[in-house]
Amino acid sequence: MTWQEVASLPGHEGGTHVVRFNKNGNYCVSGGGDRKVTLWNPATGKQIKSYAGHGREVLDLALCKDNRMIASCGGDKQIFLWDVLDGRTLRRLKGHENRINCVAFNDDQSVLVSGSYDKTIKFWDLKSNTYEPIQTIEHAVDSITIVKVYGVEILTASVDGHIRLYDIRKGELETDTIGHPVTSVTLSHDQNCILSSSLDSTVRFLDKSDGTLLNTYKGHRNTTWKIQSCFSNDDAFVFSGSEDRHIYVWDLVEGKVVDRIEGHKDTPVSLSYHPTDDQLLSSSLDGTIKLWEKR
Amino acid sequence: MVSRKKPREAEHLVGTPLSLNDLEKTKNTPAWQQTVTDENGKRRFHGAFTGGWSAGYFNSVGSKEGWAPTHYKSSRSSRAEKAQMRPEDFMDEEDRKQELEDGLKAKSEFNSFASKDKKSEKKEETNDAAINFGDFAPIRDYSVIGVKLLRHMGWREGQALGAKRAKKSGPPKEKKVYGVQLPEGLRKETEDDDDDDVPAADTALAQELVPKNNIHGLGFIPTNNLEQWSQGRAKPNGSTVISMSSVLDSRSGPVSSNLGIGIFDDREDDDSAYGFDQMSNYDQTLMSESEQRKAMTEKAKEVKKVVRRAVPDNGARCSDGSKPLEGFCLPLRKPEQVVLFPPPEIPDDYIPMCPYDPVQRLNTHQPQLNAEKRGQILGETPLPSSRGSIISQDELNKISQLANRFGPPTDLQPAITPEEYKKRVVEEDRINREKFMAMQTPFQGLRFQMNSRFTEPKVEDPNEGLRELESKMRDQKQKKEEIDESPQTAAATMGFHGKLTRTTTDFTPNSLLCKRFNVKDPHKGKNPSIQAKPEVTELLGGTEYQEALESAPFAFMESGYQKRKEDGAPQKTYEEIVAEEAEEEEEEGVDPNSQKYSIDLFKSIFESEDPLVLKEKEPEPEPEPEPEPEPEPVVVEMEEIKTEPTIEPRSEISVEKQLQMMEQQLPPSPERVVPPVSKEVAPKQAIGPALPPSGVKAESILSHLRREFNREDEEREKKSKKRKKDKKDKREKKEKKDKREKKSKKDKKRYRDG
């Protein structure tokens, strides 16, 4: 079982920090060191549109479900909300005191969640005209690396070595301790398990309900960069970039390395799996975005 | 008539007589054409009121426009020079001519060193009076009427007041000049003594200015008095010292007036003790007045000698190369440098507490004695105890128990070791600090608000940033250590993920956040144990304040509040937003939760009934009413509703379609599907400004700071290394060059020789 390169996009100068499929997988959006957000058709390799406005590198992106808006954040401590079609800036949200590492929309795009190097998570209201955050959470004691929204649950991770799961309906915070700086967290598609990557070169597979460790995935190297990990769309495989420039693929259940995808000239930091097809998008610090397909 | 023709001899003429010409001139010309001129023929008095000040036009300034403002221009490349005014800028032409003739000089009032006038100059030359150091104050107020009068009477500066003494017999052979000595040529050789009025020398005190290098009080000389006291007499050095005998003599008056009156001073004439007597009535020194005067003049002479030695122009220059000021001379000996010692270093184990050792105290503790015991020891008969008779033993116990509850136990606690004591002190200190911090945290919001309003003055300190960084690092380190200490981390590192690594706490989402996520506020009505962050307004009693305002019976207050609300800040509070939106929804007659119910629910309720009835009964589930009601069957309408749950999917299609259209319009890109494995791609050339370094390190803030720290150090090292290397290279190059030159010279020599 191997993944082979189908297409390569030129990406961004200065490294492509993030790449995301849209909801149905027809398009993808990327952001990188050249301070731009770019919309691509990965199948044809065409660059459809580019959104320029950031003052520094773009670190994370979020696409809303109806494809109308893109939220992007980066080193300039700002969040930009772009209109996909005409490229206008709908909103520019300021409030974080340091670079913003991650953004996420909630399900109906009424709230934007952002996590920053300034140790805070902020909730921004997109419905009303306020430009102040609704709420600021300051539980973490170090940089927030990733924020994800699943319904009424908000999953975040921080360099302080904790995964925090905020349940808004219950009004509860569940903190799982990993002990090493956590770079990425994802919920499985059945939303019962958490996949976390940390700087001890380990990907952990945890039970969401009680935090028990179900499996660990090792073999790759991850000690410095913020590398993302992800599931395949059927939750059968686990993917993660490695600092040896490969993308590692593990079998979810057995925990063995299935494949080492080779092709990037620098560390692949962002991964996105196609929602329906067996395709994987990866972006690397060498700037390129590559599309891989399972053969 | 007759008298007019022949003026009486007693008549006096006052003022300048007018000539006939002048009179006629003024007669014929109207008032506005008459001008007043000064002695130079220039017009005086102009302006709206011609009696005005005579500056400006045609007078002191050479231009018709008067003082034109100078054009000030300064840019980054060419800085404007600071305008340096010269005295000539404020002078008239005539004055300037004058100045050219005899040079610019300060008036005598402002130049106390220069000779005042010819007469006084002469006098000063010959005068033997010591310098009056009061004269060194360069500018003095000479407008005082007393000074003016004195001057008229013949007094001059530097001269003492009082009765004149007869001139000393035996004129000094060598003339001593004090102040600025005139050059040889200009000096008048007046050997004869025209001075018969030598002032009293005692007022012209000679002073020597000595820098204060010691730490004594001002004017205190530690040793000289001691010596005198021990010898029982003062040295004849002119200082006023109370003589020993006068102090010790019990009969003399001043002693009592000096030392005050004791209660045992049984004197009838107490009055005389309270200041009727004067110290001057008594002889306080060992010297007579004449002796004193003599000593004074001697001292003055001494100083004069010193100054005289220094004053002649022996080429002495100040540190900046200029001549010393008139009347001043350079010091003959250098002032002592004040040695400053650094403060002592505080040892690391220093505890800011009194070094009280309870152990020692406890060990050397003496048996506590009360009155009864002491009495027993002394063998007294014990007094009848009132306490014992009134209060029973049980009650006594109760009282002691109560006392124990409020105060420290009366029994002494077992001795503690010094280590324990130290520990306890440190622990208490820590607890207090924590308490303090805990007290502070609720006000952090307030402090933040305040800080955002005011800025701190920025002091340019190159070490400021470093120091901040250091303190930050320290804080982070502490925090890190705290994290590392936690049992969860320990469990995680050991691999026990599960209950040990999971903690569940309360989290209070904002009410607006709950609304946006379509959930009920989980802590509404409850009192959450943990607030996400205390609101500042709550701390300040904001809600109470508002409630009080709203329920206030005063109409004007209410109206004011309402008005404030209506005017409204552009940023509304979340509560207001929530309330407003709820109101809007109510107005629209739509249940805010109606969107959540699926159409199946409606179906299950209403399907069995008649469709026509349904149409009448069913409330409009859509938030927006249809613009045109369509006369179509109800069933169809039901289907429409089914296919249109929300607005988003429809627009998604549209966005997607539009994107497709956009893509089709795009020209075919040259970089289409790149064939796989095209590894040897030349690195792209960067165009434009340099981009930030790629990649985001998931490093902690602490390690980031540490790295920054190290980087700075490394850079510094690199720089110093480079500098050293450069120097070395230069040296080597120079050596090589020298060698080459030598060689060539040798060659040449050889060539010449051979």
Cα–Cα distance, A270 to A228 (Å, whole number): 5
Return the H-helix or E-strand segment holding B36.
strand B36-37
The answer, for B665 touching chain A at a CB cutoff of 8 Å, is: no
Distances (CA, A) of A7 to A39, A263, A282: 15, 11, 11
For strand A182-187 and strand A28-32, is the pairing parallel, antiparallel, or unpaired?
A: unpaired
Output the pLDDT for position B49. 55
Question: B507 and A33: CB-CB below 8 Å?
Answer: no
% of chain A exceeding 90 in pLDDT: 29
- Is there a contact between A8 and A257 (Cβ–Cβ < 8 Å)? no
pLDDT digits (tens, 9 = 90+) for A29-40: 999 888 889 998
Mean pLDDT (whole number) for B139-143: 55
Residue A243 has pLDDT above 70, yes or no: yes
Chain B residues with beta carbon closer than 8 angstroms to that of A227: 698
A171 neighbourhood in chain B, CB within 8 Å: 506-509, 521-523, 528
Distance CA B686, CA B665 (A): 29
Q: Which of A84, A159, A182 sits opposite B655 (nearest CB)?
A: A84
Cβ B491–A177 below 8 Å, yes or no? yes
Q: What is the mean pLDDT of chain B?
A: 63
Would you call B458 an interface residue with chain A, using a CB distance cutoff of 8 Å?
no
> Mutation test of the interface with chain A: which of B696, B705, B708, choosing the one with the most A Cβ atoms within 10 A?
B696
Residue B503 near chain A (CB below 8 Å)? yes
Q: CA angle A34-A39-A40, nearest 5°?
A: 110
A164 phi, psi to nearest 5 deg: -120, 130
Cβ contacts from A onto B, under 8 A = 240
How many domains, chain A?
1
Task: For residue B573, name the pLDDT band (cuts at 50, 70, 90).
Answer: low
Contact with chain A for residue B651, Cβ under 8 A: yes
* Å between A230 CA and nearest CA of chain B: 17
The alpha carbon of residue B694 is apart from the nearest alpha carbon of chain A, in Å, by 5
Cβ-proximal residues to B539 (8 Å cutoff; 6+ apart), any chain: B442, B443, B445, B446
The residues, any chain, with a CB within 8 Å of residue B297's CB and separated by 6 or more, are: B130, B201
CA separation for the pair B403, B396 (Å, rounded): 10
In 3-state terms, what secondary structure has residue B165?
strand
The pLDDT of A44-63, averaged and rounded, is 89
| pLDDT score at B297 | 77
Residue B204, amino acid: A
From chain B, the residues in CB contact with A226 under 8 A are: 695-698
Residues 6+ positions from B747 with CB-CB distance below 8 Å: none
The verdict on B658 touching A (C-beta cutoff 8 Å) is yes
Give SS3 for B283. Answer: coil
Between A57 and B621, whose confidence is greater?
Answer: A57
Residue B33 sits at the chain A interface (C-beta within 8 Å): no
Q: What is the pLDDT of residue B597?
A: 55
pLDDT tens digits, B35-90? 777 777 776 666 555 555 545 555 555 555 555 666 788 888 888 877 777 777 77
Q: How far is it, in rounded angstroms, from Cα A103 to Cα A79?
A: 8
Quote the CA–CA distance of B519 and B516 in Å, as a whole number. 8
C-alpha B653 chain-centroid distance: 65
Q: What is the pLDDT of residue B493?
A: 79
- Flag whether residue A33 sits within 8 Å of chain B, measured between CB atoms: yes
Q: What residues of chain A lie within 8 A of the CB of B505, using their CB?
A: 172-173, 175
Chain A, residues 168-207, CB within 8 A of chain B, namely 168-179, 181-183, 199, 204, 206
Report the pLDDT value the prediction gives residue B310, as an integer from 0 to 100. 47
Q: At what angle do helices B464-485 and B701-753 cross, to 10 degrees?
A: 130
* The predicted structure's pLDDT at residue B368: 73
Asked whether A100 and A109 are in contact (CB, 8 A), the reply is no
Q: Indicate if the pLDDT at residue B348 is higher than 70.
A: yes
What is this structure's pTM? 0.44
A253 shares contact with chain B (CB less than 8 Å):
no
Taking only Cα atoms into account, the Rg of chain A, rounded to an integer number of angstroms, comes to 18
Query: Looking at residue A102, what is its pLDDT?
Result: 92
Q: Encode pLDDT of B290-330 as tens digits.
A: 777 787 777 777 766 655 554 455 667 777 777 777 777 77
Per the CB < 8 A criterion, the answer to whether A290 and A247 are in contact is: no
Backbone angles phi, psi at A102, to 5 degrees: -155, 150
Q: Does position A68 have pLDDT exceeding 70, yes or no? A: yes
Window 115-134 of A: residues touching B by CB (8 A cutoff) are: 117, 119, 123, 125, 127-128, 130-132, 134
CA gap B140, B157 in Å, rounded: 11
Q: Model ipTM?
A: 0.87
Q: What is the mean pLDDT of chain A?
A: 89
How many other CB atoms are there within 10 angstroms of residue B46's CB atom?
18
Higher pLDDT, B617 or A61: A61
Closest CB to B516 among A48, A111, A287: A111
User: Does A142 score more than 70 pLDDT?
Assistant: yes
Q: How confident is the model at residue B346 (pLDDT cuts 50, 70, 90)?
A: confident
Say what the alpha-carbon torsion angle A213, A214, A217, A221 is, to the nearest 10 degrees. Answer: -20
Between B379 and B670, whose confidence is greater?
B379
Please check the confidence at residue A90 and state whether its pLDDT lies above 60: yes
Scan for tokens 């006098």, then name that residue.
B123
Q: Which residue would you say has higher pLDDT here, A181 or B173?
A: A181
3-class state of residue B579 by DSSP: helix
Could you tell me which residues are beta bridge partners of residue A182? A198
Secondary structure (DSSP) of B390-417: HS-HHHHHHHHHHHHHHS--SSPPPP--
Report for A81-90, B181-190, B639-648: range of highest mean pLDDT? A81-90
- Boundaries of domain holding A128: 3-294
On whether the CB atoms of residues B472 and B708 are closer than 8 A, the answer is no
Sheet holding A78-83, edge to edge: A58-63, A69-74, A78-83, A89-94
Cβ B700–A123 below 8 Å, yes or no? Answer: no
Token pair in block for residue A226: 């913020």
Give the model's pLDDT for residue B415.
58
B479 interface with A at CB cutoff 8 Å: yes
| CATH number, residue A46 | 2.130.10.10
Q: Quote the CA–CA distance of B157 and B177 in Å, as a whole number.
A: 16
Measured between beta carbons, the chain A residues lying within 8 angstroms of B477 are none
B488/A109: higher pLDDT? A109
When pLDDT is cut at 50, 70 and 90, the band that residue B692 belongs to is very low
**CA gap B205, B264 in Å, rounded:** 44
Residue pair A74/A62 in contact (Cβ under 8 Å)? The answer is: no
Collect all residues of chain A within an 8 Å Cβ-Cβ radius of residue B508. 171
Burial annotation B371-394 (CB, 10 A radius, 16+ → b, else e):
eeeeeeeeeeeeeeeeeeeeeeee
- Which pair of structure tokens corresponds to residue B160? 């003492």
Q: Which pLDDT does position B194 carry in this prediction?
A: 42
Long-range pairs for B330-335 at CB < 8 Å and ≥24 separation? B332/B306, B335/B211, B335/B213
Of B510, B663, B672, the CB nearest to A135: B510
Task: Please report, for chain B, the start and end positions of each structural domain, with discontinuous segments joined by +.
Answer: 18-55
What whole-number percentage of chain B has pLDDT above 70?
40
Determine the average pLDDT of the residues in B267-287. 59
φ and ψ at residue A214, rounded to 5 degrees: -95, -35
Q: Which residue of A has its CA nearest to B667?
A: A46
Q: Within an 8 Å CB–CB cutoff, is residue A142 touching chain B? A: yes
Q: Is A5 exposed, middle or buried (0-12, 13-18, 19+ CB in 10 A)?
A: buried
**Collapsed DSSP state (helix, strand, coil) of residue B37:** strand
Contacts of A112 (CB under 8 A, 6+ apart): A62, A71, A79, A81, A93, A103, A104, A105, A106, A123, A124, A126
Q: Taking CB atoms and an 8 Å limit, are A211 and B572 in contact across chains? A: no
* Chain B nearest CA to A10, separation (Å): 8
Query: A168 and B513 in contact by Cβ < 8 A?
Result: yes
Per the model's pLDDT, the better-predicted residue between B614 and B500 turns out to be: B500
The three-state secondary structure class of B506 is strand
- Give B621 or B142, the one with higher predicted confidence: B142
Model confidence band, residue B274 (pLDDT cutoffs 50, 70, 90)? low
Nearest to A57 among B498, B666, B692 (CB): B692
Going from the C-alpha of A182 to that of each of A59, A163, A195, A248, B473, the distances in angstroms are 16, 7, 11, 18, 21
User: B653 — contact with chain A (CB < 8 Å)?
Assistant: no
B493 in contact with A, Cβ within 8 Å = yes
Q: Kindly list the residues from chain A whose CB atom is less than 8 angstroms away from the CB atom of residue B520.
A: 169
Cβ burial A87-96 (10 Å sphere, 16+ → b, else e) = eeeeeebebb
A-chain residues near B492 (CB < 8 A): 161, 177-179
- Chain A: closest CA distance from residue B720 (Å): 30
The DSSP-derived string for chain A is --EEEEEEE---TT-EEEEEE-TTSS-EEEEETTSEEEEEETTTTEEEEEEE--SS-EEEEEE-TTSSEEEEEETTSEEEEEETTT--EEEEEE--SS-EEEEEE-TTSSEEEEEETTS-EEEEESSSS--SEEEEE---SS-EEEEEEETTEEEEEETTSEEEEEETTTTEEEEEE-SS-EEEEEE-TTSSEEEEEETTTEEEEEETTT--EEEEE-SS--SSB---EEE-TTS-EEEEE-TTS-EEEEETTT--EEEEE---SS-EEEEEE-SSSSEEEEEETTS-EEEEEE-
Q: What is the pLDDT of residue B82?
A: 77
Query: Closest residue of A to B489, CA-based?
Result: A179
SS3 B164: coil
Residue from B477, B479, B489, B497 whose CB has the most chain A CBs within 10 Å, to mutate: B497
* Residues pairing with A167 in the sheet: A153, A172
Backbone dihedral angles phi then psi of residue B22, each to the nearest 5 degrees: -60, -45
> Does residue B691 sit at the A interface (CB-CB below 8 Å)?
yes
Highest mean pLDDT among A150-154, B112-116, B234-238: A150-154
The CB density around residue B505, as the number of other CB atoms within 10 Å, is 12
Predicted confidence (pLDDT) per residue in B404-418, tens digit: 766 554 444 555 677
CB atoms within 10 A of CB B35: 12
Contact (CB<8Å) A65/B498:
no
Instruction: Assess A141–B contact: CB distance below 8 Å, yes or no.
Output: yes
Q: Is-contact B499 B505, C-beta < 8 A?
A: no
pLDDT confidence band for B464 (50 / 70 / 90): low
pLDDT at B11 over 70: yes
| The pLDDT value given to residue B47 | 59
Across the interface, whether the CB atoms of A168 and B672 are under 8 A apart is answered no
Answer whether residue B526 shows pLDDT above 80: no
For residues A120 and B362, the model is more confident at A120
In B, which residues are within 8 Å of A185 by CB distance? none
Q: Can you give the pLDDT at residue B428? A: 84
B571/A contact by beta carbon, under 8 A = yes
B51 touches chain A (CB under 8 A): no
CA-CA distances (angstroms) from residue A56 to A61, A78, B306?
A: 14, 10, 74
Q: In chain B, which residue's Cα lies nearest the Cα of A160?
A: B700
* Distance of residue B460 Cα from the nearest chain A Cα, in angstroms: 23
